[in-house]
Amino acid sequence: MKNTYDIIIIGGGMVGLTLACALGQQQFKIAVVEAYQPEDINLEDDYELRVSAISKSSQQILQHVNAWQGMLKRRACAYQHMHVWDATGQGNIHFDAAELGLDSLGHIIENKVIQFSLLEQCLKLPDVDWLCPQQVNEIDFSENQQTVSLDDGSTLSSKLLVAADGANSMVREAAGIDINKSAYEQKAIVAVVKSTLHHKDTAWQRFLPSGPLAFLPLSDGSCSIVWSAENQRADELIEMDESLFIAELQSEFENTLGKIESLSQRALFPLVRRHANEYVRPGLALVGDAAHTIHPLAGQGVNLGLLDAAALAEVIMQARTNGKNIASLNTLRKYERWRRAENSLMMYSMSGFKNLFSNEQATLSLVRNAGLNFIDSLGPIKHKFMRHALGLEGDLPEMAKIIGW
Ligand SMILES: Cc1cc2nc3c(=O)[nH]c(=O)nc-3n(C[C@H](O)[C@H](O)[C@H](O)COP(=O)(O)OP(=O)(O)OC[C@H]3O[C@@H](n4cnc5c(N)ncnc54)[C@H](O)[C@@H]3O)c2cc1C
């Protein structure tokens, strides 16, 4: 069997499916190859450990591909406030959606909910073939045609192959694209906790010298925590017995939401910064974590990936409208120039933030505490800072722009 497509996307995670929906709506013939069949959540079940803080621009993209309603009808928690403070001083900053005339600053959504709601839309599109569960066996790259052999013996071919297969992308590796990689020397512990006080629709983040601790609001009043700590501390925390871990967590969070009444299982993620040296080759493009991974301290990873998907879709659609080859290096370089610059900026900012805050040096502590308070006190600068953090500024794809804002 040999099937010919315009575009083959390897990886049906949040980013790959967003791209498939955006291009499938425009009658491109697409195959999405995914290794694991996503499952819908059961509303009676506990919250998933993996959640994402979805920015306003990501919300726009997900609305554009008609997947947003599916997320709201399952489980999503809008947050109106964000409160960030430093453990080594009095510095703090508070963001409020109302200050910007927005209904929320973003939503906390389980990754499983995002992926399944996207899949639901994809399956409605006649031009998208969902090939799952399927593993890639071999890829034959050439300038004009990409050929993918799957484990079941079938062969697919297309003009353009997109790697959306995550941080350890086998497509990127098979193409021989190198990455620039450095460990943040931290690991993130994620869990779901229930505390005696309601989260007040606020995303909370306290910067500890060993790494940031975030409490992200969930729709039943509980919180998803992302606790990033230096490797040794993180290893100790994950091994700690439950009552001791809860005591540490409460104390490091200054009992801000009262007592922790319950704790789910905990999961640990090593944090690594990766950036692919090339995003494109003739007939090949990398999107999402296959192209870059960053520290979760500002919850930007998948938001950058969704912007990649929207930008690549825009470049491909423009090329088709102008009668150009959608898979030529000339076309794809527009995507690379666009997104590499934006992603690099975010990656350097995150590394800078991480280094600035993971440091107990007295002068640095003074500078950052004064800085937080200074930004908090200045209306226009604070608003600009907020717009950046919410993904409302920068060179946004059309799909990501909020009309009339
Ligand atoms: C602790 C933590 C907290 C985070 N919090 C946030 C947050 O709040 N906000 C945010 O924006 N980001 C956050 N991120 C980052 C975010 O999770 C990632 O950026 C996002 O999951 C990347 O999506 P993706 O679709 O590119 O890759 P993935 O989610 O990794 O999806 C890749 C898909 O490809 C499939 N696949 C892989 N290889 C193959 C193959 N060979 N054949 C077929 N299929 C294959 C996989 O099964 C998977 O479905 C966080 C990350 C961590 C570690």
DSSP secondary-structure letter at 133? S
302 CA distance to ligand 1 middle (Å): 7
Atom 14 of ligand 1 has which residue's CA nearest to it? 301
Q: Does 251 map to a domain?
A: no
What distance in angstroms lies between residue 226's CA and the mean position of ligand 1's atoms? Answer: 16
pLDDT for the residue numbered 358: 60
**What tens digit of pLDDT does each residue of 41-75 get?**
999 999 999 999 999 999 999 999 999 999 999 99
Rounded Cα gap, residues 79 and 173, in angstroms: 38
Instruction: Report the 10 Å Cβ neighbour count for 75.
Output: 20
Residue 48 within a domain: no
Task: Kindly state whether residue 278 falls inside one of the protein's structural domains.
Answer: yes
What is the reported pTM? 0.94
Cα–ligand 1 centroid distance for 168 (angstroms) = 10
Identify whether 165 is part of a domain: yes
| Distance in Å from the first CA to the final CA of the chain | 49
Candidate of 18, 289, 390 to mutate for ligand 1, largest count of ligand atoms within 8 Å of Cβ? 289
For residues 56 and 66, give the distance between their C-alpha atoms in angstroms, rounded to a whole number: 15
CA angle in degrees (0–180, nearest 5) for 149-150-151: 130
Kindly report the protein residue whose alpha carbon is nearest to atom 1 of ligand 1: 188
Please indicate whether residue 12, judged by its CB atom, sits closer than 6 Å to ligand 1. Answer: yes
How far is residue 234's CA from residue 398's CA, in Å, rounded to a whole number? 40
pLDDT for res 100: 84
C-alpha neighbours within 13 Å on the C-beta side of residue 52 = 20
Angle at 328 between CA 324 and CA 334, to 5 degrees: 85
Q: Are 55 and 95 in contact (CB under 8 A)?
A: no
- The Å distance, Cα 12 to ligand 1 centre, comes to 10
What is the domain count for the chain?
1
User: Quick one: DSSP state of residue 169?
Assistant: -
- Closest C-alpha to ligand 1, atom 45: 11
CA distance 184 to 268: 14
Pairing type for strands 146-150 and 136-140 reads: antiparallel
User: Would you say residue 90 lies in a domain?
Assistant: no
The residues that bridge with 86 in the sheet, in sequence order, are 207
CATH of the domain at 347: 3.50.50.60
Distance from the CA of 380 to the center of ligand 1, in angstroms?
35
Integer Cα distance of 376 and 359 in angstroms: 21
The parent domain of residue 378 ranges over 2-42+56-72+112-181+272-400
Ligand 1 binding pocket includes 11 (Cβ within 6 Å): yes
Establish whether residue 16 lines the binding site of ligand 1, counting it when its CB lies within 6 angstroms of any ligand atom: yes
Residue with CA at minimum distance from ligand 1 atom 12: 301
| Ligand 1, pocket-test mutation among 8, 14, 139, most atoms within 8 A of CB | 14
Q: How many residues does the chain have?
A: 405
Ligand 1 lined by 136 (C-beta under 6 Å): yes
Does residue 219 sit in helix, strand or coil? coil
- pLDDT value at position 300? 85
Rounded CA gap, 138 and 140, in Å? 7
pLDDT in tens, 122-133: 999 999 999 999
pLDDT value at position 354?
57
Give the per-residue pLDDT at 382.
65
* Rounded distance from Cα 166 to ligand 1 centre (Å): 5
Is the peptide bond prior to 133 cis by the omega test (within 30 degrees of 0)?
A: yes
Question: Would 381 be classed as within a structural domain?
Answer: yes
User: Which residue has the CA at smallest separation from atom 28 of ligand 1?
Assistant: 166
What does the pLDDT read at residue 92? 79
Does any domain span residue 100?
Answer: no
Question: For residues 11 and 137, what is the distance between their CA atoms, to the nearest angstrom?
Answer: 14
* Strand, coil or helix: 60: helix
| Residues in the chain, pLDDT under 50 | 1
Q: Which of 230, 214, 227, 181 is nearest to 355 (CA)?
A: 230
Q: What ligand 1 atom has the least distance to the C-alpha of 165? A: 34
Decide whether any atom of ligand 1 lies within 6 Å of the 52 Cβ.
yes
234 lies in a domain? no
User: Using the 8-state DSSP alphabet, how is residue 98 labeled?
Assistant: G
Q: Is 161 in the pocket of ligand 1 (CB under 6 A)?
A: no
